[in-house]
């Protein structure tokens, strides 16, 4: 059997409470999830259930309180260096041009300037920004900045890509364009992807598998659905197919309960 690119093995994460509560707050409890090389997996769940916490553990930014993370079979200690991350927040360096931003990771890794420049230009071209290489982030649109971030991640050729609601700040049309671009790039050179979103349509349209987390505290996996929709997919078109609609209904049947539970908890906290 092949070794998964990424596996979370019975991970839990308890945050220490600031109010002196000795038990702290357990965001996720006993979650196991394996992503094969080349597989695109989305995790959905109600707001605040612990999706980002899972991703941060996979990135090595947060150590699990119990359980462990393995990367291609090796226990992860410290940062996950085989993974590239793309987060919801803007991550570009405002003092560097688009090209400078894409080159940065290569330079940090010790690449020769000319090589880094050539590869970064190649990636800017792939994400449709060849003509904008000299622009600074503030001179680019939100969608363009996301494209630069994408190039910044992919230029390093990571085996695993971790994405935390990367397009949630974009308008719907730009978002769909970006989703299609990600799928095209992923299809050309399949990597293991862990994609976090609260948008079920996006999760189904993009993924091979959708994993559902329960409402917190102590979120756990409450459902897992394989998405056998044909590829290549157009994220806007695929949503209108009967198989998509059927799958959406089946997943929503499970997710709805959790979303309602999460909402109730938020009201209780307020």
Ligand X SMILES: Nc1ncnc2c1ncn2[C@@H]1O[C@H](COP(=O)(O)OP(=O)(O)OP(=O)(O)O)[C@@H](O)[C@H]1O
Sites of contact with ligand X (CB under 6 A): 15, 25, 27, 45, 47-53, 198, 216
C-beta closer to ligand X: residue 107 or 265? 265
In the complex, minimum distance from the CB of residue 13 to ligand X, in angstroms, rounded to a whole number: 8
C-beta closer to ligand X: residue 27 or 124? 27
C-beta closer to ligand X: residue 104 or 204? 204
Cα–Cα distance, 147 to 145 (Å, whole number) = 5
C-beta closer to ligand X: residue 97 or 219? 219
Rg of the chain over all Cα atoms, to the nearest angstrom: 19
Three-class secondary structure of residue 194 per DSSP: strand
C-beta closer to ligand X: residue 18 or 138? 18
C-beta closer to ligand X: residue 4 or 50? 50
In the complex, minimum distance from the CB of residue 226 to ligand X, in angstroms, rounded to a whole number: 22
Q: Please report, to the nearest 10 degrees, the dihedral formed by the alpha carbons of residues 79, 92, 89, 225 taken in order.
A: -60
**Which residues on adjacent β-strands are paired with residue 223?**
212
The CA distances from residue 218 to 11, 16, 253, in Å, are 11, 14, 21
In the complex, minimum distance from the CB of residue 197 to ligand X, in angstroms, rounded to a whole number: 9
In the complex, minimum distance from the CB of residue 53 to ligand X, in angstroms, rounded to a whole number: 3
In the complex, minimum distance from the CB of residue 123 to ligand X, in angstroms, rounded to a whole number: 28
The CA distances from residue 263 to 45, 165, 258, 259, in Å, are 12, 19, 8, 6
- Count how many Cα atoms sit within 13 Å of the Cα of residue 257 in the half-sphere of its side chain: 9
Cα–Cα distance, 232 to 23 (Å, whole number) = 47
In the complex, minimum distance from the CB of residue 260 to ligand X, in angstroms, rounded to a whole number: 15
């Amino acid at each position: 059997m092949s070794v998964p690119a990424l596996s979370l093995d019975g991970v839990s994460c308890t945050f220490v409470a600031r109010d002196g509560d000795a038990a702290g707050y357990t965001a996720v409890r006993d979650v196991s999830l394996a992503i094969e090389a080349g597989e695109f997996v989305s995790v959905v769940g109600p707001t605040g259930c612990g999706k980002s916490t899972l991703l941060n553990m996979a990135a090595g930014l947060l150590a699990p309180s119990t359980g462990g993370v393995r990367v291609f079979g090796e226990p992860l200690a410290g940062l996950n260096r085989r993974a590239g991350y793309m987060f919801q927040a803007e991550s570009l360096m405002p003092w560097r041009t688009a090209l400078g931003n894409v080159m940065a990771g290569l330079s940090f890794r010790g690449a020769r300037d000319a090589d880094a420049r050539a590869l970064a230009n190649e990636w800017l071209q792939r994400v449709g920004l060849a003509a904008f290489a000299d622009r600074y982030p503030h001179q680019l649109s939100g969608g363009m900045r996301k494209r630069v971030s994408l190039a910044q991640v992919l230029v390093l050729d990571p085996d695993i890509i971790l994405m935390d609601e990367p397009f949630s700040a974009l308008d719907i049309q730009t978002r769909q364009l970006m989703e299609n671009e990600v799928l095209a790039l992923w299809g050309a050179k399949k990597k293991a992807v862990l994609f976090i979103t609260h948008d079920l349509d996006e999760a189904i349209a993009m993924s091979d598998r959708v994993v559902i987390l329960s409402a917190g505290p102590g979120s756990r996996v409450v459902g897992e659905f394989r998405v056998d929709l044909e590829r290549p997919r157009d994220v806007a078109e695929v949503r209108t197919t009967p198989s998509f609609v059927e799958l959406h209904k089946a997943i929503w049947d499970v997710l709805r309960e959790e979303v309602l539970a999460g909402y109730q908890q938020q009201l209780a906290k307020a």
